[in-house]
Amino acid sequence: MKTIGMISSYRGLETRADWLWQQTPNPFGRWGNIQMQALAAKPDFLLMYQFDFVQPSAKKSWLDKFRKPAKQSVIDENYLLRGVDKKRIIYLLREPPLDEILEINKSNYQQAQNYCGYVSGPDDFAPTPDYMPAIWYHSNSFQDLNEMPCPEKISSCSWITSGINRTANHRQRLEFLRSLQNSQIQFDLYGRNLPKWAKISGELGNKWYGMAPYYYNLAIENYADNNWYVSEKLWDSLLAWCLPIYYGGSAADKLLPPGSFLRLPSLDEKGIAYIKEVTATPDAWYAAKDAIAQARQIILHKLNLLNWLSNFVIQQS
């Protein structure tokens, strides 16, 4: 059993002893040949999960809202890397290559290669371009998600999103939200920091409650322009037995079975007309139910980040 430590610049993760534990049926973060122990003092492997190195520019980006600010120009190897050998240090970048942060991502890749034997991210600029292994944000246990029957569906469509507007892509999404609400299509909106004009049902402590009762869920990525990027928006929707109406790149087509999600054609009037047509009846959900069930098993057992880490450890043995 090999232990996996973790460091990240995402705020709130630096003290999380149970990070990823909900993604395994076993206690204390065990999956196959590994145990996820994010805070382990001397782990066998170390995952640098969206770790942001000090940037050469002092200019702040929208990501600063989510980052723990770095305070040094080089890594304190004894403290952060915990004595782990370079070939056993994994760097996974999660943020999409938006124009506003592209240089930051490139700099992270460049500096990560000084410390990590494997450096990857969901874009062509990464040393190893690859899909992001799946994480999800439901509080349900792995056993519940794996074994539960489909929950009762009583409402048509939901959308869980935020009011971030610091990039062109985020502003495009908010404009689509405004147009969708003005269209009078019935859907429930949940989220945080949304504009005052947005008609919201409130924030959620557990995304499950804003997805599980719905036939459809709008899963709209911040980035849809390459063949690698797909995020938890799609995994969360499917794990709640929703039929996602998905706006994103082509990565999802390669990872999930046909028919397990619908493609939103565009963030404009054509897209609004598509949502109106699909959500008018639950017929599309019933037609996709078997494919959704298959996709859920793929997410839980194959795309799962813990499964990815277990396979990486096997390859290094």
Q: Is the pTM of this model over 0.95?
A: no
Note the maximum CA span of the chain. 59
Q: Please give the pLDDT value at position 80.
A: 87
- Closest residue by Cα to residue 111 from 80, 65, 134, 66: 80
Are residues 85 and 150 both part of a single domain? Answer: no
Q: Please give the pLDDT value at position 223.
A: 95
Angstrom distance (rounded) from CA 213 to CA 201? 14
Phi, psi of 190 (to 5 degrees): -125, 150
Q: Please give the pLDDT value at position 75.
A: 61
44's enclosing H/E stretch is: none
Angstrom distance (rounded) from CA 242 to CA 236? 9
Domain boundary among 130, 158, 193: 130
State what percent of residues in the chain have pLDDT above 70: 92
Q: What is the three-class DSSP state of 99?
A: helix
Q: What is the pLDDT of residues 210-256, one digit of tens each?
A: 999 999 999 999 999 999 999 999 999 999 999 999 999 999 999 99
Q: Which residue has the higher pLDDT, 68 or 100?
A: 100
3-state SS of the chain: helix, strand, coil percent to 5?
A: 35, 20, 45
Q: What is the three-class DSSP state of 10?
A: strand
Q: Please give the pLDDT value at position 14.
A: 86
Angstrom distance (rounded) from CA 25 to CA 9? 27
- Closest residue by Cα to residue 22 from 183, 188, 189, 232: 232
CATH no. for residue 243?
3.40.50.11660
Angstrom distance (rounded) from CA 208 to CA 136? 11
8 A C-beta contact, residue 62 and residue 95: no
Band (64; pLDDT cuts 50, 70, 90): low
Domain boundary among 85, 102, 130: 130
DSSP 92: E
Are residues 165 and 124 both part of a single domain? Answer: no
Instruction: Answer whether residue 103 is part of any domain.
Output: yes
Q: What is the pLDDT of residues 95-111, one digit of tens each?
A: 999 999 999 999 999 99
Angstrom distance (rounded) from CA 173 to CA 268? 10
Least confidently predicted of 57-66, 177-186, 240-249: 57-66
- Closest residue by Cα to residue 247 from 229, 267, 228, 232: 267
Residue 292 tokens, joined: 């959704």
Instruction: Answer whether residue 213 is part of any domain.
Output: yes
Phi, psi of 92 (to 5 degrees): -120, 115
Instruction: Answer whether residue 71 is part of any domain.
Output: yes
Q: Please give the pLDDT value at position 212.
A: 98
Q: What are residue 157's DSSP bridge partners?
A: 216
Residue 197 tokens, joined: 């004009």
Are residues 149 and 61 both part of a single domain? Answer: no
Q: Please give the pLDDT value at position 138.
A: 96
Instruction: Answer whether residue 135 is part of any domain.
Output: no
Are residues 279 and 232 both part of a single domain? Answer: yes
Are residues 125 and 32 both part of a single domain? Answer: yes
Q: What is the pLDDT of residues 115-137, one digit of tens each?
A: 999 999 999 999 999 999 999 99
Does the pLDDT at position 144 exceed 80? Answer: yes
Q: Please give the pLDDT value at position 77.
A: 61
Q: Please give the pLDDT value at position 246.
A: 98
Angstrom distance (rounded) from CA 5 to CA 194? 35
Are residues 211 and 256 both part of a single domain? Answer: yes
- Closest residue by Cα to residue 294 from 234, 248, 252, 238: 238
Q: Please give the pLDDT value at position 99.
A: 93
Does the pLDDT at position 71 exceed 50? Answer: no
Does the pLDDT at position 67 exceed 60? Answer: no
Band (312; pLDDT cuts 50, 70, 90): very high
The residue type found at 281 is: T
Q: Please give the pLDDT value at position 317.
A: 82
Are residues 148 and 283 both part of a single domain? Answer: yes
Structural domain count, the chain: 2
The residue type found at 176 is: F
Instruction: Answer whether residue 137 is part of any domain.
Output: no
Q: What is the pLDDT of residues 254-278, one digit of tens each?
A: 999 999 999 999 999 999 999 999 9
Domain boundary among 109, 130, 151: 130
Are residues 147 and 121 both part of a single domain? Answer: no
Are residues 174 and 293 both part of a single domain? Answer: yes
Which residue range(s) make up the domain with 154? 142-302
Instruction: Answer whether residue 84 is part of any domain.
Output: yes
Are residues 292 and 175 both part of a single domain? Answer: yes
8 A C-beta contact, residue 265 and residue 246: no
Are residues 155 and 276 both part of a single domain? Answer: yes
Looking only at the bridges linking them, the beta strands covering 155-162 and 45-49 are: unpaired
Angstrom distance (rounded) from CA 188 to CA 214? 9
Band (79; pLDDT cuts 50, 70, 90): confident
Instruction: Answer whether residue 313 is part of any domain.
Output: no
Are residues 296 and 148 both part of a single domain? Answer: yes
